[in-house]
Amino acid sequence: MKGLEALENSEHMTEDELGQRAEQFTHDLALLKHRQAHGFDPNAISAEWCDACGNEIPEARRKALPGVVLCVDCARMEELREKRR
């Protein structure tokens, strides 16, 4: 995790740099928790195109969530449907 490594070597950082590193750490940790909670396999291959709507799934999303098959919009809609059940 980039954020954790940076926080460990923070002796000569400005307040702004420390804040940015802490934010990166928080982001990395949230992503890791999400991956674990939803059972993402780090070696899974992500779809390039959304299974629901056919739109392209951005590369950043495919890398962040290995095995992803829905674009952001379709994933949000699916989450809303799940909450309503």
Provide CB contacts within 8 A for 84, sequence distance 6+: none
Provide CB contacts within 8 A for 10, sequence distance 6+: 17, 18, 21
pLDDT at residue 2 in the model? 53
pLDDT at residue 52 in the model? 94
Which residue is it, tokens 């990166």? 24
User: Residue 31: what are its φ and ψ, rounded to 5°?
Assistant: -65, -45
pLDDT tens per residue across span 59-68:
999 988 888 8
pLDDT tens per residue across span 2-56:
545 555 666 778 888 888 888 888 877 877 777 677 666 767 788 999 999 999 9
pLDDT at residue 1 greater than cutoff 80: no
pLDDT at residue 64 in the model? 84
Cα→Cα distances 42→5, 59, 60, 67, Å: 20, 15, 14, 8
